[in-house]
Structure 1
């Protein structure tokens, strides 16, 4: 009796460990991709202290490809890594970026990725028309979560930290909006295509 109980406990522990690994490897992968997208380089925009990186693209992909809890966990892991001092943010920065001009955009990634994941709906690639509708939903989700939500946080917090008027911050950031709209198109097409491959 003791042996069968011990075997059942060991099986339950193994099963739990497998579920934890299965649920956590994708968020960790996307957190690493966010770091790599920041480490790959940045493009400065005149008039604003916030550089262009591929981070919003990775946020969009995470929201389009993961359930909302895993997508949120990926961004939370990335932010936590920077908060404890790892140089994962643009320019190899860490903790200070969370109180600098980019802070609002970084914090906006978390609600943004959750909104994307909740808005994207189910993938349907059974026909060309269904795949086009899926890509359209994905694009809308990426624009709302990855641009509107992230920028709302970014503008408000940057204005509060720098003392610049909100309108001036928004105007200076328009160069980002165009780039992120293009990223949203690419991310939605890529995620729709990858969901078709996964069928």
Structure 2
């Protein structure tokens, strides 16, 4: 019979694993507070935070950060810019988590491409956020065209700028 040693989990090891998750959740919460109050979906800086969390945190950190953010917001902390998790912004909130995780998974499996590749992947991740957010909003309102007009169109220019900024930051710093 062969005995296998169980690795010791140290406080430093736990902190090294939990700190990036807490930092990502905090970044999402702070980015939600930087907003322009549109209705029914406010414009925030969360797309920028999502893109950076995905590239710099990786898939597990993105999922952990997103789950912590959603859990704390659902518990009543004022983290959601548009209200409750099951309100008009619910699809966007879930989209944030999945988009960041998708970027993190890409980086872990394929590495960091050049600037054009980073921008294309950031655009695709933002498209995922839009698809889930628009779909959720359309389901709530019962009017897909109005949901698109209110939940996607007003954000296109601002999110294009966020994609550009995130792409430049990732291209500059993610390979280190």
Q: Which runs of 5+ in 1 are unaligned?
A: 1-7, 124-132
**For 2:118 and 2:22, how far apart are their aligned partners in 1?**
22
Alignment-derived partner of residue 44 in structure 1: 37
How large is the RMSD of aligned CA atoms in angstroms? 2.0
**For 2:120 and 2:66, how far apart are their aligned partners in 1?**
20
Alignment-derived partner of residue 142 in structure 1: 122
**Does the 8 A contact of 1:75 with 1:110 survive in 2?**
yes
Alignment-derived partner of residue 188 in structure 1: 167
| C-alpha displacement of 1:37 | 1.2
Normalised to the residue count of structure 1, the TM-score between the two structures is 0.77
Secondary structure in structure 1 of the residue aligned to 2:36: coil
Pair 1:175 & 2:166 matched: no
**Does the 8 A contact of 2:31 with 2:44 survive in 1?**
yes
| C-alpha displacement of 1:24 | 1.6
Query: Which of these residues, 154, 172, 175, is aligned with residue 133 of structure 2?
Result: 154
| Aligned ranges 1:18-29 → 2 under 5 Å | 18-29=12-23
Secondary structure in structure 1 of the residue aligned to 2:8: helix
**Does the 8 A contact of 2:24 with 2:61 survive in 1?**
no
Alignment-derived partner of residue 8 in structure 2: 12
Query: Which of these residues, 45, 48, 58, is aligned with residue 49 of structure 2?
Result: 58
The runs of 4+ residues in structure 1 deviating greater than 3 Å are none
Q: Deviations over 1:7-51 (max 9, x none)?
A: x99x9243xx322211221121111011111123x2133xx4111
Alignment-derived partner of residue 30 in structure 1: 24
Pair 1:122 & 2:117 matched: no
**For 2:128 and 2:103, how far apart are their aligned partners in 1?**
10
**For 1:13 and 1:49, how far apart are their aligned partners in 2?**
45
Alignment-derived partner of residue 74 in structure 1: 65
Secondary structure in structure 2 of the residue aligned to 1:66: helix
**Does the 8 A contact of 1:64 with 1:142 survive in 2?**
no
Secondary structure in structure 1 of the residue aligned to 2:70: helix
Q: Deviations over 1:116-163 (max 9, x none)?
A: 22234313xxxxxxxxx5222221221111x11111110111111122
Flag the structure with larger Rg. 1
**Does the 8 A contact of 1:27 with 1:73 survive in 2?**
yes
**Does the 8 A contact of 2:141 with 2:147 survive in 1?**
no
